[in-house]
Chains A and B, each alone.
Chain A
Amino acid sequence: MQELDTTGLGSVRVTRKSDNVVVIEKDLATEQMVLAMGPQHPSTHGVLKLECLTDGEVITEAVPYLGYLHRCFEKCCENVDYPAVVPYTDRLDYLAGMNSEFSYALAVEKLLDIEIPRRVEFIRVIVAELNRIASHLVAIGTYGIDLGAFTPFLFCFRDREIILGLLEWASGARMLYNYIWVGGLAYDVPSDFLTRVREFVAYFRPKTVELCNLLTKNEIFVKRTLGIGIMPADVAINYGWSGPMLRGSGVKWDLRRNDPYSVYPELDFNVPVPDGKLSVVGDCLSRHLVRAFEMDESLKIIEQCIDKMPSAEGFNPRSAIPKRIRPKAGEVYSRAENPRGELGFYIQSDGKSTKPIRCKARSSCFVNLSAMKDLSKGQLIPDLVAIIGSIDIVLGEVDR
């Protein structure tokens, strides 16, 4: 090992490892800089704050700071009746309100142990899958923006608009639906709804191909995401990842299949998992691809649901809704596959009150985000942006 001082700024170490390999290390006098990314930053997807320690453009450490959108969800739930929690669940993951409501309704129904009409189940699955598509469209579109492609974002929002229109038609609201109630639905779907959904499915199939050609197959997009932010499957499981994030790491884990609920066991759909041909398993591109393929699967599910749906004759969406929800003393944990992963509700009842004495939401975004420290180490700032985008967080669900 030789020590040379040629630059005058610091010493240069030349190490000869073998005959062919010479390692030159420069000790330039550099300092690390603290860079506060967010909470007002265009690509932190809301009010996430990342405190990054940077060396030039390289991140040595990034620590997420949470709580800017904390709205006391769990404490609020302890002070309202069981049905009144439903609107709050909309506001958890505001991009997938239907799925959150669905998950909560499942939990309380499990606690009450009630049967619900078959048509209700199918309508729930249809609206939830529509909302899953809408949510993935936002994820993919904003991911495009994170990487500098603006046009795919507007294409995604154009199609999402149709879904929001459909859901508004069914529930009366565009994002915060309050549609899936404990034991039933707020309303039956409008008479023409299923035809329109079928039209949407026919319209949307070619659009996924268009989106794929515009964004996913783009050389620059692939270069920006391939091999970036790799998460091995075992580490992902240890972190408790779920949803597209876990599947992106190559684990075939989908609660609709692995812990089936509602009518999902009757439906035929695949769980897309990257095989390492198009992407490196566990990288940002894998997670993006999982979302893109999942939209196709959701379309399949919606079509099957429309075909299998029992007729609306003599159907009352509120028939199974209990007059007064007062579960027996006990506790329940129920989980459902949300667009962002496993959303679980742990509810405790004392058997006397009409209010849950404890309602805990297990949020997938929060768990997925917790791996940020591992993922960001040694990445460039643009890659950090790509990684945050691929995690697809909704701060409403992270902070609750």
Chain B
Amino acid sequence: MSSTALSQFSIPFLMGNNLNAWSEALAGFNLFGLPLGLVILAAIPLVFIALYSLTYGVYGERKISAFMQDRLGPMEVGKWGILQTLADILKLLQKEDIVPTSADKFLFVIGPGVLFVGSFLAYAVLPFSPAFIGASLNVGLFYAIGIVALEVVGILAAGWGSNNKWSLYGAVRSVAQIVSYEIPAAIALLCGAMMAGTLDMQKITMLQSGSLGFAHFFLFQTPIAWLPFLIYFIASLAEVNRAPFDIPEAESELVAGYFTEYSGMKFAVIFLAEYGSMFMVSAIISIVFLGGWNSPLPNIGPLALNDMTNGPLWGAFWIITKGFFFIFVQMWLRWTLPRLRVDQLMYLCWKVLTPFAFVSFVLTAIWEVYVP
């Protein structure tokens, strides 16, 4: 990304001129020839996005589940309990940091960190607006698929390091699950990449813009696209360990899976990583299939809705809205469905999703080649 792109974004809307000058200065900050300032500048908004998606993700989860279950949910802290998550984070910060005596201290400590880094690094390639993307890699999608696998290392470290049988079960299940589900997920995303002809997330998004709004989204471009869309959505649920695939942390079976022994801030970091990944996969699915930051509204004759609702700030609004919509669907499923068994989960991955992913891959290829 370039600093000019950022300043376009920032001057009129968000920051005053002073702040802009400050960000220009930071952007020019180099250390040993490395553009360190730029990296910091890009990282700051990403951290905020991740933290907000956690805070309001957790709040949303509790409120949505309460709504589905005839309850009120958190009501005490702030109006409608809106500050509940902040209170919870404050509580977790004050908690004693317990490391079990028989745990492998090194693995136990780095586990949550690796887990968080794995989910958070993918944020770098998510285009949050036409003017803002952390790192505009030309292999962005490939990077996003690959970097998520780093989470597996964190989970395994946490589960093995805890020296607890339940944690170990959770970790092993989780690793098997994530590694397996990456295959249908990656193939499904490749269908999107094939339609775009590029792996650059920003370019994939740009290819889906147009005056007809949602009609330009890849999901509506071919009659096949809904298949990889569904496959990726199901596989992403499994990748982020959400119900009905929450087997690694299956409460009724494995107590809490790989984070049984964690408490305090380490637990909070694992939690943050989980909600971070939820938003991350939701953002990826909306970028690849639903146009990312493009407005879904079409231009209707003289009423240029699409033109009115596109732009840097609107872009951020749209992608976050789309992301939150998928998070809502994830929560909806979680509070409705029971949990699959381990073997049923693997059956679904290898015998249903993967063959269908290949089918959709071939069909998309045929469509792209033979249909103009």
* Chain A residues near B (Cβ < 8 Å): 33, 35, 41-43, 57, 144-151, 154-155, 158, 214-215, 218, 220-221, 223-224, 380-383, 385
Contact = CB atoms under 8 A, between A and B. Distances in A.
A42 B342 contact: no
Contacts of B246: 148
B94 interface: no
Nearest to A146: B252
The 8 nearest A-B residue pairs measured at CB: A148-B339, A149-B338, A43-B252, A154-B69, A147-B338, A148-B338, A220-B338, A382-B341
B243 interface: yes
A141 to B, nearest CB: 11
Contact of A224 (B243, B254, B341): B341
B96 interface: no
B339 A220 contact: yes
B71 A151 contact: no
Q: Which DSSP category, helix, strand, loop or mixed, fits chain B's interface? A: loop
Interface in B18-54: none
Given A33-B165, A220-B244, A145 B336 contact: no
Nearest to A218: B338
Given A382-B342, A385-B252, 16 more contacts: A148-B243, A148-B244, A148-B338, A148-B339, A149-B336, A149-B337, A150-B335, A151-B69, A154-B71, A214-B336, A218-B337, A218-B338, A223-B340, A223-B344, A380-B341, A383-B341
A154 B335 CA distance: 11
Contact of A57 (B339, B340, B342): B342
Interface string B128-147: 00000000000000000000
A320 B304 CA distance: 85
Contact of A145 (B71, B252, B343): B252
A220 B337 contact: yes
Contact of B255 (A33, A42, A144, A151): A42
Contacts of A43: 252-253
Interface in B237-259: 243-244, 246-247, 250-255
A221 B169 contact: no
Nearest to A33: B165
B362 interface: no
Contacts of A41: 255
A149 B340 CA distance: 10
Contacts, number: 76
Contacts of A35: 165
Contacts of A221: 338
B72 to A, nearest CB: 12
B68 interface: yes
Interface in B270-298: none
B255 A382 contact: no
B63 to A, nearest CB: 14
A385 B338 CA distance: 13
A42 B244 contact: no
B76 interface: no
Contacts of A149: 336-339
A151 B68 contact: yes
A147 B165 CA distance: 20
A155 B70 contact: yes
A382 B253 contact: yes
A154 B70 CA distance: 8
A381 B338 contact: no
Contacts of A214: 336
B337 to A, nearest CB: 6
B340 A381 contact: no
Contacts of B68: 151
Contacts of B335: 150-151
Q: Which of B247, B338, B344 has the most CB of A within 10 A?
A: B338
Contacts of A154: 69-71
Contacts of A147: 252, 338-339
A145 B71 CA distance: 17
Interface in B312-339: 335-339
A42 B252 contact: yes
Contacts of A218: 337-338
B336 A151 contact: yes
